Structure 1
Amino acid sequence: MTVYAALLRGIMPSNPNMSNEKLRGVFTGLGFTSVASVLSSGNIVFAAEEGDIAELEDRIQESLNAELGIPGGTIIRSEAELRELLDRDPFTGFTHGRDTYLTTTFFKRPGAPALPADDDPLTTIIGYDAEARAFLAVIDNSTPKTPNFMAWLERAYGKDITTRTWLTVQRIVKKMDAVQ
C-alpha cells in the first residue's frame, strides 16, 4: 500500500457537503484505507494500492462530484513526493508567519510552467520544483494591500492547480507518517 494525499480544490468548510466527515466518507466508500483529514480545507490522507495517479485523481473527483456535488479538482501526491519536497527545503531563509506566507502551488500534470515576471512587490518567487510539480512563492501579508498572486496563478495556469501553505504541507506529511 502507498500513502497518498489528495489536495482538493474549492473546499469550503462552511458548506455542509464539504465537511471532513463527508469527504472521508467518499474516500472510504472508494475502498481506501487509513483515511484521515488534515485541517478543514480539503486535505485527505489515505492508503491505496499503487497505480496510475491520473486515473486515481479522476476516480476520486468523479465520486466527489457524484456524491457531494463538489466539482473542483483533485491533485494527488505520494508521501514520498511530499517528503522529498520537504527535505529539499526550498524556503531556506524564509519564515512562515502572519505577515509572510510560504506557498506551494501544486500542478496536476507534469511540465514546467513559464514563471511569471516578478512584478508584484508583495510576492517573492522562489521557483518551480519539477519533481514535486509545484510552484513556490512567498507572499507578503504585512500590508493592508492584498497581493493579486492567487488570481494571477489561476489566470496563468487554469484550474488544474491548488495552493497550500508550507505549514499545511508539513502538517499533511506529519499525518501521512502517522497513518503508515
Structure 2
Amino acid sequence: MHSYAAFLRGIMPSNPNMRSEKLRGVFEGLGFENVSTLLSSGNVVFQTKDTNVPALEAKIQKALNTELGIPGGTLIRTHTQLQNLVASDPFAGLTHCRETYLTVTFVRETPKTLPTFPADDTNTVKIVRFDPEAAALLSIIDNTNPSTTNFMQVVEKTLGKDITTRTYLTVQKALKKMDA
C-alpha cells in the first residue's frame, strides 16, 4: 500500500457538501483505504495500491465534482515527498504563528525553471525556495506589517491557477497522520 495526501482546492467548510465526512465518503467510495481528513480545509490522507498520481488526481477530482459538485483541483503528494520536504527543515529556526505564516504552495508540476516573482514592495513575503521533489514553493509571510499582501494572487499569476497553499503546520500534520 502507498500513502498519499490529497490537498484539495476551493474547500469551504461552511458548504455542507465540503464537510470532512462527505469528503471521506468520496475517497472511501473510490476504494481507498485508511481514509482520514485533517482540519476542515480539504486535506485527506489515504492509502491505495495505485501508483499513478496523475490518474489518482483525475479520478478523485472527477468523483468530487460528480458526487459533491466540488469544481476545484486535487493535488496529491506521496509520503516520501512530504517526508523529504519536512526532513529538509525549510523553515529552520522559525515557528508558524499569528505574526509569521510559514506556507507551502503545491503546484501541479515542477516548472522547468522557477519563474521570477515580482518584487514585494510591502516586505511582507520572503520566498525561501522551491522544492522540486514536492513541487512546492516555500515562503514566509510576515503578518505584523499592516500592509496587505496580494502574494497569493502573485503566486497564482506566476505559477498558474492549478496550485493550493497550506501552512507548513498542516503539511507536518498530514505527514504525521500518514505515519500513524
Q: TM-score range by the shorter chain?
A: over 0.9
Q: Any idea what the Cα deviations from partners look like across 1:117-167, whole Å, max 9, x if unmatched?
A: 442410011011111110010001113322110111112222211000001
Contact map agreement 2:115 2:158 (CA 8 A) in 1? no
Give me the TM-score of the superposition, normalised by structure 2: 0.95
Alpha-carbon distance in structure 2 between the residues aligned to 1:15 and 1:21: 12
Alignment of 1:85-164 (within 5 A): 85-111=85-111, 112-120=113-121, 121-164=123-166
Match of 2:30 in 1: 30
Q: What is the TM-score normalised by the length of structure 1?
A: 0.95
Is 2:4–2:46's contact at 8 Å kept on the other side of the alignment? Answer: yes
Letter in 2 for 1:165: T
2:168 to 166, 169, 175: 166
Unaligned runs of 5+ in 2: none
**Can you give the 5+ residue segments of structure 1 that lack an aligned partner in the other structure?**
none
* Counterparts of 1:44 and 1:93, CA distance in 2: 28
- Contact conserved, 2:7 with 2:42, CA < 8 A, in 1? yes
Match of 2:179 among 164, 174, 177: 177
RMSD: 1.1
Task: Return 168-177 or 111-120, whichever deviates more.
Answer: 111-120
- Amino acid of the structure 1 residue aligned with 2:161: K
Provide the identity percentage. 56
Post-superposition, which runs of at least 4 consecutive aligned residues in structure 1 deviate over 6 A? none
Does the alignment pair 1:78 with 2:84?
no
Q: Which range is displaced more, 136-145 or 3-12?
A: 136-145
Whichever residue aligns with residue 78 of structure 2, its letter is S
Which one-letter code corresponds to 1:125 in the other structure?
I
Indicate conservation of the 8 Å contact 2:101/2:143, yes or no: yes
Q: CA deviation at 1:110?
A: 2.6
Q: What is residue 19 of structure 2 aligned with on the other side?
A: 19
Q: Which residue of 2 aligns with 1:42?
A: 42
Work out the CA distance in 2 between the residues paired with 1:104 and 1:80: 16
Contact 2:104 2:168 in 1 (8 A): yes
Q: Residue 93 of structure 1: CA displacement?
A: 2.9
Equivalenced residues, count: 178
